[in-house]
Structure formats: C-alpha cells, structure tokens
Amino acid sequence: MASISGICSSSSPSVKPRLKPLLRATSLRRNMVSFPIRTHRIGIPPVHSVAREISSELSDDGALKNETAAPTKVKKKGLEKDPRALWLRYVDWLYQHKELGLFLDVSRVGFTDEFVAEMEPRFQAAFRAMEELEKGAIANPDEGRMVGHYWLRSPHLAPTSRLKSLIETTLDAVCDFAGDVVSGKIKPPSSPEGRFTQILSVGIGGSALGPQFVAEALAPDNPPLKIRFIDNTDPAGIDHQIAQLGPELASTLVIVISKSGGTPETRNGLLEVQKAFRDTSLDFSKQGVAITQENSLLDNTARIEGWLARFPMFDWVGGRTSEMSAVGLLPAALQGIDIREMLAGAALMDEANRATVLKKNPAALLALCWYWASDGVGSKDMVVLPYKDSLLLFSRYLQQLVMESLGNEFDLDGNRVKQGLTVYGNKGSTDQHAYIQQLREGVHNFFVTFIEVLCDRPPGHDWELEPGVTCGDYLFGMLQGTRSALYANNRESITVTVQEVTPRSVGALIALYERAVGIYASLVNINAYHQPGVEAGKKAAGEVLALQKRVLAVLNEASCKEPVEPLTLEEVAERCHAPEDVHILISCVFRNHFAFIWHVNIEMIYKIIAHMASNDRALIAEGSCGSPRSFKVFLGECNVDELYA
C-alpha cells in the first residue's frame, strides 16, 4: 500500500479576511487617468488602477472612443492594416521556444511601442515579484502562504531541503503506486478482471479541472485505466457515473481529491460512492485513494478507514495550480500518460518565463496583451479557441485558473478595484458554427486566443480528401481564415502554436498560463492566490442547509400532531425564527433591515419546501407551489427520530 502519510506539510494558519478602508481614484481627467501613488508589497510599483465603471471601447476603426478609459497615458490607435508592416510586426514580435516547439504570436494585438515602454517598469517589478515568490516569499498575504507550484516541476528551487524532498518523495510514490496498479501488483479484492480497469475521480474545481483537461488532451485511445469524474453534488449526475461503471465498480479505483478535505460537493460524492459500494457488497477501503492535506477531514477519514493509499497536497499549492501535484499526476500516470514529460515541459516553460526581457518571456507577452486588450481592468473577455478536439477542455481549465485568480474586489492595498478577466471558449472550428458570427460582427467585447497545433495527425495516417488538400488543411484554413477575418474587423487575437499535443507541450501550456496569470496579477496589483468570493458562496450554502434543517424540524413537529397540522409559509417562517433567531431579528429591526431579512428568509423557506415537494419529501395539503401565498404543507411521514434528535 502506498500510504505516504507523514510527509504532508502542516495545515495552514487560520485565515482572516483582509478588511481595509477603501480608497477611490482621486482625479480623472479627460485624456488621462491618474491615481495616488501607493506603496506596495514585494516590490511592485504603483499601478494605474482604473475604475471598472469607466467604459472603454475600440470603435470599428480601432480608435478608442472613451479616452478616459486608457489605463496608461498611451492613446490607443487603429490596428495596423498594411500587409508589409504587419509582416514586419509579426516577425519582430514572434516568440519561439525551440526546445518546446512552441510559438507565440502577439502581432495581432495592437499595443504600441509607447505602451510597451510605459509598461516596462511594471514588468520589471512583476519579474522581481515572481522571483521572490519562487524563493518562498509569502505571496498570498491574506492567507499567509507561500505559493510554490513552480517547485513541483523544479524541486531544486524549493526554499528548503525538506520541501524539495517532500516533492520528490511524493512524485516517486505517485509513480510507484501507478506502476503497481497498472501492472496489477495492486489489485481490487473482488474483481473478475483481477486488476483495476477504471478510475472514478471525485473532486471539484482545481481538484477536477486539471485532471479532466489532461485526460481529454493526453489519454491514449486504450488507456490502462479509463477515467470518469464526479465533480458536482448533482445526484443524477453521480448516479449516471456509477451506472455507467456497472459491474466494473468492482475494478474501479476511486480517487477522492480535495486540498481542504472538507469541500461539501466532494464529500457528498464520496458518501454516494461509498453507498454504491455498500449496496453491491464491495469494500470501499480496498479501492479508495485520498489526495488531500495532512490531517484534513478527508485525510483522517481515509486513515481511520484504512484506504488503499493517501497522497499529500501541500498548503503552498493552490487548487487551480495543482495539476503538477499528486492531484493531476496520479490520475494522469494511471492513464498511461508520461507525467515526467509533463513536468519537463512545465519546467522548460518556467525557465523561459524567468527571462527579464519582455520579448523573451512568453508569459509576460501574454500578460502584456491581456493588459492592452482589456485596458488592465478586464474590459474585454478572453475567448480561447483551440483548433484541436483534444484541447477542448483547455478553455474550461483556463476559466478557473484566470477568473478565480484575477477576479478580485480589492487590490493588495485594499482599494476596491473589481478586477478580473472573463474567459470562455470551446474549440475551433466547431465554434465558428456557434458564436463566431457575433465575434466578427457583433458586440466588440473580447479578444481571442487561438491555440494552433501544427501536426494534424500521426505521420502515415493522412490522406488527401480532395487533390492537394487534407482534412487537417481545412482545420488550418479555418483557423487562419477566422484570425484574418476577425482582424480585418479590428478584433485582436493572440496565437499560441505547438507542434503536437504531447505531455511535454501540455505541461508547457499549463505553465505558460500559470505564469501569465501571476505576472498579470502583479501588473494590476492583486492577490491571485486567494478566492474570498468563493468562500462567501460556500458559507451562504451552509446557511441554506441550516435553515432547511429548521424547516424540517418545524414541519415534523406539526406533522406529528393529531390531526396533522398543515402549515402556511408564514407559519413555517414564524416557527423557524423562534427562538434562536430572536436575537438576529432584534438586531435587524434595530438596523431597520427587518423586512428585508424576513423577505429573504420566507423566500428561501418557499424554495426549500418546493424543492422537498419536488422530491416527495414534503406534501402539499392545499394549493400548489405555483401559488406560494396560499399553499399549506406537511410532511408525509412524521419523523420522530429527527424531531427529538
């Protein structure tokens, strides 16, 4: 058994939300936005934070309509249209990483030399910040954490020898365990096949998106183990995954992934899967693997129940940058993907991204384009279009990486900035038959990133479907045509080109965008490594479930009466609020918010009851859910246990 407990890092210190007085932009002039100079942690100079509400838009000829929106003093001008000048711009700015076979073309983004010059000091500061981060600075100040995903592929860079050996030991353990599972040395106890054939990965967000993207991109046609995912608390979705496994549940390795070890969706997925194991008389512990931080709820459960294996997550690796930790590496290795190649590709890309000359640093070039195109305030969305089916999930993966990192209400100095960069996209050329019409001719609120893969299919397999033209030529033509057509209509685009979709190039792509996010975050002075907004949603969900328990208790009590006492919504709400809400109500009345809170609660109680009624857990005595004012509700069966629990 590959249990490597004890090598996880200790759990993180408690986190306090950062509350600072809000500062506002102090002066806005017509052609320029200037802001008070502020000091900055880890060496970032002041930035021209631009209030989101100031709209900016390129007009159809590429000129800026609202000049006050410019994040720098540089005026935007129309995009270059002269073919020769454009070719020179292409050649001048083309980035190539020879060893990785990766190109980055930023020529179709209209930044000017003046803009680049103005941004230069900010880039130098961002490079210094990245350097400090890699040396182990507390780059996630709210949570008091280091940010160390770069060490995962270059352990020698880890700030202590303990961390270095932790990374290396974990990687070895992942490889050994995966090798033993694939070879059949580690086998499920009661499978007729005598070896594991399936992986069921249970996790959400950063504990799912990386493994999903990599599986889609790199899993061979006949992997040693096939993978499927439970990444939600949707019971029907979970049932579907379990039903699809059918009798192969007996040969399924269940990998439960959660950095915190307490995410409700993941816990629910685990409980549902464990029930499915019980229902089929299978011993879950012999087939369960946990990837989590040491001593988390999940870790303790796995240890106490004696699961097959446990692998560590580190508090200095964020969920959305965890693909190169056990989170991504274990599922990938089990599918026969060369994870050391993935790590090598990422390490090479990291190395390139340490260049302090803008033109030689691909991540910085991306950040420059994002800043230019979205005015440094996310005023334009990033549409990601990989022209390759296997990269379908790249945009979804990037959506979390970019939006959960950059979407921030406050900057590092406590100013309300409401930052972000919206990401969406699926794949080309498929999307040309969906929304490219709007991109070409409709609202101009985006820039595009094309991902191009030069090699169409393995050598020896291609054929011409018409003289001189292959199927892949069409895909190539669609990409180039769309890029040109968009540009002709002043729509900017970036093109990232890789030779092939391989573990090495996928590792490099992940590393490229991880670093671009880090650099961009420095440019706009935000903490890219926390996600306070997500916590608010989780907390609110907890409150809804707590309210549901109270509603259930009230209905139980009324339904146990002889005769049963059906209740209106108002009656349920009133009984729910006593006695523990009295305090809340008094303070709400005191602050003149009573009506609002009452309204929200009664609406929520209505939704709770409607949901229970839809699932046969509450019965409507009078009226219907469609007329909430009048309906009366009771529970079908009086649950005395619950009532007196």
Ligand X SMILES: O=P(O)(O)OC[C@H]1O[C@](O)(CO)[C@@H](O)[C@@H]1O
The footprint of ligand X (CB under 6 A) covers 204-207, 258-260, 263, 266, 319-320, 404, 531, 534
Instruction: For residue 599, give every residue at least 6 positions away whose Cβ sits within 8 Å of its Cβ, in sequence order, or none.
Output: none
DSSP track, 418-459: EE---EE---TTGGGGTTHHHHHHS---EEEEEEEES--SST
Question: Are the C-beta atoms of residues 426 and 406 closer than 8 Å to each other?
Answer: no
Q: How many helices (H) and strands (E) does the chain have?
A: 19, 20
Q: Is 286 a catalytic residue?
A: no
- Between 271 and 595, name the residue whose CB sits nearer to ligand X: 271
- Between 317 and 494, name the residue whose CB sits nearer to ligand X: 317
Determine the distance from the C-alpha atom of residue 614 to the mean position of all C-alpha atoms in its chain, rounded to a whole number: 32
In the bound complex, what is the minimum distance in angstroms from residue 292's beta carbon to ligand X? 8
DSSP track, 105-134: E-TTS---HHHHHHHHHHHHHHHHHHHHHH
- Between 534 and 600, name the residue whose CB sits nearer to ligand X: 534
- Helices 503-523 and 113-134: crossing angle in degrees, nearest 10, is 110
Q: Is 461 a catalytic residue?
A: no
Instruction: For residue 296, give every residue at least 6 positions away whose Cβ sits within 8 Å of its Cβ, in sequence order, or none.
Output: 11, 258, 259, 260, 261, 262
Distance from C-alpha of 642 to C-alpha of 221, rounded to nearest angstrom: 50
Distance from C-alpha of 40 to C-alpha of 354, rounded to nearest angstrom: 21
Which of these is catalytic: 216, 265, 323, 404? 404
Closest CA relative to residue 449, chosen from 401, 521, 409, 502: 401
In the bound complex, what is the minimum distance in angstroms from residue 12's beta carbon to ligand X? 11
In the bound complex, what is the minimum distance in angstroms from residue 579's beta carbon to ligand X? 33
**Residue 376 backbone class (left: φ over 0; alpha: ψ -120 to 50; beta: rest):** left
- Between 419 and 531, name the residue whose CB sits nearer to ligand X: 531
Which of these is catalytic: 20, 185, 275, 538? 538
Closest CA relative to residue 263, chosen from 304, 230, 226, 307: 230
**Residue 14: CB atoms within 10 Å:** 7
In the bound complex, what is the minimum distance in angstroms from residue 269's beta carbon to ligand X? 10
Closest CA relative to residue 113, chosen from 99, 92, 127: 92
Q: Is 538 a catalytic residue?
A: yes
- Between 145 and 320, name the residue whose CB sits nearer to ligand X: 320
Cα dist. 70→51, 67, 631 in Å?
11, 6, 56
Distance from C-alpha of 483 to C-alpha of 41, rounded to nearest angstrom: 40
DSSP track, 307-351: -SEEEE--TTS-GGG-TTSHHHHHHHHHTT--HHHHHHHHHHHHH
- Between 50 and 174, name the residue whose CB sits nearer to ligand X: 174
Residue 225 DSSP one-character state? S
Give the angle 200-202-208 at the CA atoms, nearest 5°. 105
- Between 191 and 263, name the residue whose CB sits nearer to ligand X: 263
In the bound complex, what is the minimum distance in angstroms from residue 298's beta carbon to ligand X? 8
**DSSP H helical segments within 141-222, as ranges?**
161-183, 209-218
Which of these is catalytic: 16, 98, 156, 433? 433
Distance from C-alpha of 252 to C-alpha of 201, rounded to nearest angstrom: 10
- Between 63 and 297, name the residue whose CB sits nearer to ligand X: 297
Ranked by CB distance to ligand X, the top (closest) residue is: 319
- Between 313 and 339, name the residue whose CB sits nearer to ligand X: 313
In the bound complex, what is the minimum distance in angstroms from residue 309's beta carbon to ligand X? 18
**Residue 336 backbone class (left: φ over 0; alpha: ψ -120 to 50; beta: rest):** left
In the bound complex, what is the minimum distance in angstroms from residue 206's beta carbon to ligand X? 3
Question: Are the C-beta atoms of residues 269 and 238 closer than 8 Å to each other?
Answer: yes
Q: Catalytic residue positions?
A: 404, 433, 538
